[in-house]
Structure 1
Amino acid sequence: MHFPTTDVLQDKEEIAKRLSDLDKVTILGNGDHIKVELFFEDDSTKYRVDTTVWGVTDARVILKQGIVLPINRIYKIVY
């Protein structure tokens, strides 16, 4: 997958909500091992994955087995 550096979200409130949601699902993932749905896109395709979020850095989300996704490419989180 190739991830562009541009953000899939344009609205500042949506971007702030995404960060807040990532904080919440990280707690759910680490505490209760609860899976969430992440909707994201690379340079050509949209994806949905059911996963546990293990960590969040300034720019990336850390999933199982060390898989990382750029935060700026996530457009929806369902938990």
Structure 2
Amino acid sequence: MPQATTTFKTTVPNARFKKANAVLQKLGLSAGDAFNLMLAQIEIHKALPFAVSLQPKPLLNADEQADEWTKSYGAY
């Protein structure tokens, strides 16, 4: 038996949608797929799947940036 679905409509700037959609297409996803994935993460974590804050993170100094690069991508 198919699950009931809900249609969700929103308005976003054209330029933002086009840029995001280009990335999503490369990932093999539609905007609807991405939205559904985000809702699943909200359901799982009971929170947004990214940080939302009025307090900016402090900028990293050059050594900290190098450490983050190495952790993420390996030695330069």
Is the helix fraction higher in 1 or 2? 2
Taking CA–CA contacts closer than 8 Å with sequence separation of 6 or more, which of the two structures ends up with the larger relative contact order? Answer: 1
* TM-score normalised to structure 2 length: 0.30
**Larger strand proportion, structure 1 or 2?**
1
Q: Which has the larger radius of gyration?
A: 2
